[in-house]
Structure 1
C-alpha cells in the first residue's frame, strides 16, 4: 500500500495553488510510486483562520492509514496551529514544514494565525518534525525559522542557501527526509 502524504498549500487563491502545484509535482517525482501526495485546493473562507483548521481536519479524515503531513508557508503555519489545538486520532508518521511564517503582532488580521504560547507542548508526541527555510526567502525571512528553533528544540531544522520562498520548485531535500522515516 502506498504511503499517504497530505500537502497543505501556502496562501489560498488559485495563483497560490498553481505555484505550490510545482512543489507538489517535485515532491511526488522525488518520492516515486511508493507515495501518493494529496494536494487539495483550500479556498480562503471569511473566518480569522481562513477556514484552514476545519479544512485540514476534513482532508485528514479523508485519508486512510498512517499520514505524512507537509505544509508550505501559510499552510505550514496552519498545520502547526491545527496540530497544537486539535486532538488527532490518526497516526502521523512525520511533519514537514517549508518556509513557515512565525506570526506575531496585534493586527486583527493576524489573530487567526498566531500560535498559543504553549503550542510546542501540544504538538503530537514522538512524531518527527522538520522545518525547512531558504536563506534568500524574501516573503518569509529566515529569522522566522530562528523563532521556531527557540520554541521547537526537538525539531530538525534544514537551512537551504538558495531557492527563495518556493525552493526553486525542488523539494528533493524534503523527500529525502520523508523517505528516511
Structure 2
C-alpha cells in the first residue's frame, strides 16, 4: 500500500532545520507507517527577500505526489501560507497544518518578502482543511499572532495549546490525530 506523503517545511533561524528534526520525528512516530514525512532543508539566501524559500517550496510541491499534506513550522508555516495564497498549485492538497505561525507586520525592509497580501485569506486553496496550532506560552511567536489569523480566516480550525512553547515540546500528537482524521 502506498504511503501518504507529507511535506514538512522547517522553521527559520540559524539552526531551524536541526531544531525541527525533533518535530518531524515526533510527527512520523505519531502517524505511523502509513505516512512518509519528507523534510527538505530550506535555503538561507540572505540576498533574497524571502530567503529563497518560495522557490524551494514551489519545487518541493511540484515534485510531490497528488493528495500531499503540507505541514509548516514558524517561518515555514508563514511561507507556506504566502506561497499558497500567491500561486496556482497544480497538485491536490489533502490538508494544511501550520504550527506557531508568525503574522508578519511592520515596515522593516527585511519583513517585506515575508508579509502576506491583505487578501491572502481569499486566495488560499478552496475546500482544503486548514489547521493552526499555537502554544499559549510560545516564547518566539506571540500567542496574539493566532488571533490575527482568526480574524482573517473564518474556515480554518484553530488549536490553542496550553503549554509547550514554540516547539510544542517537540511532541505533535494533536497534529497527527488531525492528519489521520482527513482519511477517516
Where has structure 1 moved over 3 Å in runs of 4 or more?
none
1:47-126 mapped onto 2 (5 Å cutoff) = 47-126=48-127
Q: Is the 8 A contact 1:12 1:42 kept in 2?
A: no
C-alpha displacement at 1:16, in angstroms?
A: 1.2
Counterpart for residue 43 of structure 1: 43
Q: Distance in 2 between matches of 1:12 and 1:144?
A: 19
State TM-score, norm by structure 1.
0.98
Gaps of 5+ in 2: none
> How well do the aligned residues superpose, as a CA RMSD in angstroms?
0.7
State TM-score, norm by structure 2.
0.96
Q: Deviations along 1:92-144, whole A, 9 cap, x unmatched?
A: 00000000000001100000011000000000000000000000001001100
Counterpart for residue 131 of structure 1: 132
* Partner secondary structure for residue 105 of structure 1: coil
Q: Deviations along 1:62-95, whole A, 9 cap, x unmatched?
A: 2222100000000000000000000001000000
Q: Is the 8 A contact 2:74 2:102 kept in 1?
A: yes
C-alpha displacement at 1:12, in angstroms?
A: 5.2
Q: Deviations along 1:28-74, whole A, 9 cap, x unmatched?
A: 00000100000000121120011111000101122222100000000
C-alpha displacement at 1:18, in angstroms?
A: 0.8
Counterpart for residue 25 of structure 1: 25
Gaps of 5+ in 1: none
Q: Distance in 2 between matches of 1:65 and 1:146?
A: 31
* Partner secondary structure for residue 179 of structure 1: helix
* Partner secondary structure for residue 49 of structure 1: coil
Counterpart for residue 161 of structure 1: 162
Q: Deviations along 1:129-170, whole A, 9 cap, x unmatched?
A: 000000000100110000000001110000000100000000
Q: Distance in 1 between matches of 2:124 and 2:86?
A: 8
